[in-house]
Amino acid sequence: MEQTLTHNIAHTIRLYPTESQETFFKKACGCARVAYNYGLSEYQKIRSEGGKPSILKIKEKFNQEKKTLYPWMYETNKDANQQPFSNLQDAFTRFFKHQSRYPKFKKKGIKDSFYISNQVFKTDNKKFWISKLGWVKGAEELRFHGKIMSATVRRKANYWFVIVSVETDKAFTTCENQAVVGVDLGIKTLATLSDGKVAEVLSPLRARLRQLKRLQRWASRKVKRSSNRHKANQRVAKVHYEVACLRKDVLDKLTTYLCENYQTICIEDLDVKNMLKNHCLALAISDVGWGEFRRQLDYKSLLHGNTVIVADKWFPSSKKCSGCGHVKETLLLSEREYVCEHCGLVIDRDLNAAINLMNYALEKLGVACPELTPVDKRALVYSSSIGVDETILYETGIYQGSETST
């Protein structure tokens, strides 16, 4: 079954600019940075004088002074020095809604990017045309067909990328399976599903931690602001980029699998910010990327027509028995197996939490939860000795008495 809707999709493609084209990119990033800092400086100045600043009036003042103060800005596209004022307005809007911190001044070489409108940008196979620059070679052609809304050129780890926003009516296959699944995220295993499937954790940062420490020590010995220090920092940035790509790839496969195989997905609203205060687990929590998992699941569920139910962070998914509903007062992190004193249930704690999340979703949907009848004081016994599947998920044996279901 397919569903046709009009939506905006962004596609990130790596660029291979020539030396002169890379110089143009750096100039455009500089224009965007100067314009943003100009607007923020004027905003703070007006506020300190007791006035009520307006980003639109600041932008008009900048355009009047641009020809005398910054004549080199005319060497790049106009959008590069005009869009930053819209970005600044959005930053203050988020700040006043308590959604982000107060805007900061941009620094050279950190998150360099500039905006391009659809009027001065077009694509042809693996090439991308930008006004005042010409055709730039890319790694692949645009994946989605439709109207190009805008583009953003960004530098990451000394690599250049273009993020193209496309309005498309591409048909995405909706999930025909009406199954409900609970997903418990963890650090020993990336995700445990209520039907017994487990996604293994990759830990790309921990695997490269020794290499990163060595490169960072090597970079710290270089003279500050020197060319050698800049090259050393670029090597560190490339390792971080590889780590981010590996983490995103694993989460991409997992979220795609969930959206294509389950109609309703229930997850827990984790308070990651407070959990990171535990310095013993902060590295492991950051390495699995729970925030990126939530972001990908949110937008993919909209494309595939899934229903995502988020359980409250106070919901006792780990302390509650999935067999009888009894809630333990305390459950230590070292207890990897849940043992219920009330009904005798013995089950892996992550699987127990995933089943509780599935039952939570069924209650929200108004569907009766399946009853688990203990057999010889064992409702479920969790085993993870089955082989690994090609899709980073492996089946685990779920036993109820002498019967086995996988």
Catalytic residues: 184, 268, 350
Cβ atoms < 10 Å from Cβ of 331: 15
Q: Is 77 left (phi over 0), alpha (psi -120 to 50) or beta?
A: beta
d(CA 257, CA 230): 41
Q: Regarding beta strands 264-268 and 307-311, do their DSSP bridges make them parallel or antiparallel, or are they unpaired?
A: parallel
